[in-house]
Structures are given as structure tokens and as C-alpha cells.
Structure 1
Amino acid sequence: MAKDISDDDLKLYYSIGEVAKKLGISATKIRYWDKEFSHLKPSKNSRGDRRFTKDNVKQLQQIDFLLNQRGFTLEGARKEIASGKRKSTDKSEIIDRLVTVKRKLEGLL
């Protein structure tokens, strides 16, 4: 069975507004996390607007999960990310799937 390709699958970069909407968090929080987490490095266009890749979105999902679901402090989240590069990739994929399932379930209500 062929997988349907959406416009989202074809995009290389996302604006901060698109990422904020996708993750359900504010653009202000994303800007703050950009300053606090050195591994998060979105590119910027000529006007200085952040452009996020799919990897950046996964990194933001991981940060959001650690801070808001697991209750980590900023420093604790930094250490967790630094100590578990391989495990964090697997976790971010799982988180991405769970967020997708959650949104689909919310759409059924």
C-alpha cells in the first residue's frame, strides 16, 4: 500500500508560527528554548526569521516532553539530551507518533 504524501512531507523548512501551531506551544517559548538549548540551531533567512527543519521540530518535541511531561528543569533537560543522544532519537520518534495519535483522537470528540 502506497503512503500518501502530504504537503507537510515535502516541506524542508517551517516558520516559527507553523512549528508553534504543530506543537501546541507559543512562538515565544520556542524563541526562549532556541536561546537556552545550544543543540537547537534553526537556520535564519535574510530577515533573521527562524526556519526550522524536521529535525529541529523533533528536538523541540523532545525539549517540550522533558520540561512539561517529565518535569525536568532547563539544566536537567540539557544534561538528559547531552547524555542520551541515541536514546533521545528513539524517544522523539515515539513522542511524534503519540502526538499524532492524540490529535487524531481529539478530532474524534
Structure 2
Amino acid sequence: MPYKDREVEKLYYSIGEVAKMFDVNTSLIRFWEKEFDIIQPKKNKKGNRLFTKVDVDHLRIIYHLVKERGYTLQGAKEKLKDNKEDVSDNVEVITKLENIKSFLVELKGSL
């Protein structure tokens, strides 16, 4: 039986990795951390921020509201306070649809 490399999911992401995921500056991630209470990264002894998968998911929701939907910071805060589950479900559906679209475009290109 051949050895299979398993993909290891990271427990913590650095601020640079998170900024690269969303194609934004690290300063914006730090600013959102101050503005939104739901982002709570761990900090190591040096003070470096270590973001968990939950923090990345929260940032994805904030990114969707502010950058993609055009909400103000105050509007995004109120939307998250009112119905965070509904917003997170919408973001999850949009992400899945984008993955399906990219797969179909790739499939069309290979025909």
C-alpha cells in the first residue's frame, strides 16, 4: 500500500497569511481586529497574532459585508449583531457557488 500524503490543516495562520487570503494589507486586518469584537486572535510571546480557522471565517464574513456588499463598518457591525448566522450561511453559499463556477470554467476550458 503506497504512502499517501495527507493535507495537514493548519491550526494557526499568521497575519501575513490571512492578509494574502483576502488580498488586503496587514494593517486592514489589524484595524478590523480593533473594530470587530468577534475577531480574537491569539498572540505569542513576541506579540505576533495567530489567527484560528474561526477567526479566518469571521474575517471572511466581514470582508464579504464590507468589501463585496459595500456595507459601512457600523452597518456591518449591526448586521453581524442582528443575524450573524444568516450572514455566515450566505457567505458559505457564495463560496461554494464560486468554487462550482471555477470548476465549470476549468472543465469548459479542457473541452
Superposition TM-score tier, normalisation by shorter sequence: 0.7 to 0.9
Specify the alignment match of 1:31 in structure 2.
30
Counterpart-to-counterpart distance in 2, 1:56 and 1:39: 8
Specify the alignment match of 2:92 in structure 1.
93
Does the 8 Å CA contact 1:66/1:77 hold for their aligned counterparts? yes
Specify the alignment match of 2:81 in structure 1.
82
Does the 8 Å CA contact 1:42/1:50 hold for their aligned counterparts? yes
Kindly state the Cα deviation for residue 31 of structure 1 after the two structures are TM-superposed: 0.4
Residue 6 in structure 1 maps to residue 16 in structure 2: no
Kindly state the Cα deviation for residue 67 of structure 1 after the two structures are TM-superposed: 0.7
- Alpha-carbon distance change, 86 to 30 in structure 1, aligned in 2, over 3 angstroms: same
Provide the secondary structure at the position in 2 that maps to 1:72: coil
Calculate the aligned-residue CA RMSD, in Å: 2.4
One-letter amino acid of the structure 2 residue matched with residue 63 of structure 1: I
One-letter amino acid of the structure 1 residue matched with residue 62 of structure 2: I
Q: TM-score w.r.t. structure 1 length?
A: 0.78
Specify the structure having the higher radius of gyration (Cα).
2
Counterpart-to-counterpart distance in 2, 1:47 and 1:102: 42
Does the 8 Å CA contact 1:43/1:52 hold for their aligned counterparts? yes
Counterpart-to-counterpart distance in 2, 1:26 and 1:101: 28
Does the 8 Å CA contact 1:61/1:95 hold for their aligned counterparts? no
Identity of aligned residues (%): 42
Specify the alignment match of 2:21 in structure 1.
22
* Equivalences, count: 102
